[in-house]
């Protein structure tokens, strides 16, 4: 498999996101991403684009073992009655026999089901071979501990949470490290906001690269997986080039210092953030 700096869990460190992208836009974004050299695609049941993503995966002609595909189970499916069937439905849309990583999208079941119930289903889906790895998303420090208490150490491979220079999410990252849970930083650009930050722009100028590359390199330097999205081939190419950029300690410290708790994803069913 081409080198995209894989982690020990076999997750390529850099992938593409697909939130908000629908129909042709989702198809084209994923098709271009695979064409320029990405292998890791992040989707979710609630994004409504699994079928478009699946078509792009199929049309790419890439071998299944060279792809890394993540999807996420939505809140209304976090119960024994719906969980497994919802994953089968995701796989039908994605035209896959298995995903590489299946996440609980939010720790917020719609009918008050317990974490014990939905994590048991998550583990079952892995045992059924419908996913290679299992993980969570938007889990707080307390919820990570609760989840590890339920499933045991070494079972939860990933926690996908918002991480960018304006929200470094340090406490969650530390808690995950303690339990050997890889963190994926979502919305790395804070949906574009951090790309005009004057500190980041100055660091980009110093290295002769774009602000997007600096932000991705900062995420990777912190041992995060990250999944920026783009609808443009040029931006996808730029984002991939970030793998070649190494920031120095001063750059990293300056970017770390930008944290101001500016959270982008904060729906009313969010947990009590750390
Ligand atoms: N687990 C969760 O609850 C959760 C929540 C939110 C997001 N996510 C995941 O994280 C992914 C990333 O988050 P996001 O898509 O919301 O935001 P993002 O990746 O932080 O930012 C995307 C924006 O950045 C722009 N962009 C991308 N590359 C660029 C470049 N090289 N130069 C300039 N602009 C660039 C894109 O515009 P163009 O299209 O014009 O390039 C787009 O407007 C999502 O797609 C989703 O897969 C997960």
185 close to ligand 1 (CB < 6 Angstrom): no
Alpha-carbon distance 79 to 201, whole Å?
Answer: 46
Q: What is the pLDDT along the chain (274 residues), one digit of tens a residue?
A: 444 444 457 899 999 999 999 999 999 999 999 999 999 999 999 999 999 999 999 999 999 999 999 999 999 999 999 999 999 999 999 999 999 999 999 999 999 999 999 999 999 999 999 999 999 999 999 999 999 999 999 999 999 999 999 999 999 999 999 999 999 999 999 999 999 999 999 999 999 999 999 999 999 999 999 999 999 999 999 999 999 999 999 999 999 999 999 999 999 999 999 9
Nearest CA to ligand 1 atom 14: 187
- Reply yes or no on whether 166 is catalytic: no
Catalytic residue among 27, 47, 118, 166: 47
Please give the DSSP secondary-structure letter assigned to residue 74. -
pLDDT the model gives residue 8: 55
What's the gap in Å between 20 CA and the centre of ligand 1? Answer: 9
Residue 134: what are its φ and ψ, rounded to 5°?
-125, 155
Question: Which option is the CATH number for 16-189+223-230: 3.40.50.1220, 3.20.20.100, 1.10.3720.10, 3.60.21.10?
Answer: 3.20.20.100
* Alpha-helical segments (H) within 37-76: 50-60
Q: How far apart are CA 125 and CA 147, in angstroms?
A: 16
Residue 176 in contact with ligand 1 by CB distance below 6 A: no
Ligand 1 midpoint to CA 188 (Å): 7
CA of 229 to the centre of ligand 1 (A): 4
Cα(44)–Cα(50) distance, integer angstroms: 7
d(CA 36, CA 75): 33
**pLDDT at position 238:** 98
Q: What pLDDT, on the 0 to 100 scale, is given for residue 245?
A: 98
Which atom of ligand 1 lies nearest, measured to the CA of 137? 1
What are the residue boundaries of the structural domains of the chain, listed by start? 16-189+223-230
Ligand 1 close to Cβ of residue 191 (< 6 A): yes
Alpha-carbon gap, residue 94 to 191, rounded angstroms: 25
Give me the pLDDT at residue 3, please: 43
pLDDT of residue 189: 98
193 Cα–ligand 1 center, Å: 10
Q: Which two tokens stand for residue 44?
A: 């979710």
**Beta carbons of 46 and 76 less than 8 angstroms apart:** no
Q: What angle do CA 239, 29, 8 make, to 5 degrees?
A: 55
The best mutation among 74, 214, 228 to test binding of ligand 1, ranked by most ligand atoms within 8 Å of the C-beta, falls on: 228
């Amino acid at each position: 498999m081409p080198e995209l700096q894989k982690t020990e869990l076999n997750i390529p460190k850099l992938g593409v996101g697909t939130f908000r992208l629908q129909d042709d836009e989702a198809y084209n974004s994923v098709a271009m991403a695979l064409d320029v050299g990405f292998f890791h695609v992040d989707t979710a049941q609630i994004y409504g684009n699994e079928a478009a993503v699946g078509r792009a995966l199929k049309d790419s002609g890439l071998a299944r073992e060279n792809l890394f595909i993540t999807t996420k189970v939505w809140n209304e499916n976090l119960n024994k009655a719906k969980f497994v069937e919802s994953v089968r439905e995701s796989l039908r849309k994605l035209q896959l026999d298995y995903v590489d990583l299946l996440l609980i999208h939010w720790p917020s079941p719609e009918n008050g089901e317990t974490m014990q119930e939905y994590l048991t289903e998550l583990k079952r889906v892995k045992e059924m071979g419908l996913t290679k790895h299992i993980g969570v998303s938007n889990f707080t420090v307390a919820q990570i501990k609760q989840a590890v208490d339920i499933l045991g150490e070494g079972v939860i491979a990933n926690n996908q949470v918002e991480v960018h220079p304006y929200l470094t999410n340090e406490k969650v990252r530390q808690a995950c490290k303690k339990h050997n849970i890889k963190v994926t930083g979502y919305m790395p650009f804070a949906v574009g906001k951090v790309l005009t930050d004057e500190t980041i722009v100055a660091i980009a100028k110093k290295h002769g690269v774009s602000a997007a590359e600096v932000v991705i390199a900062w995420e990777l330097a912190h041992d995060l997986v990250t999944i920026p999205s783009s609808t443009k081939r040029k931006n996808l190419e730029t984002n991939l080039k970030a793998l070649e950029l190494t920031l120095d300690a001063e750059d990293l410290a300056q970017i770390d210092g930008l944290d101001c708790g500016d959270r982008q994803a904060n729906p009313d069913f969010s947990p009590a953030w750390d």
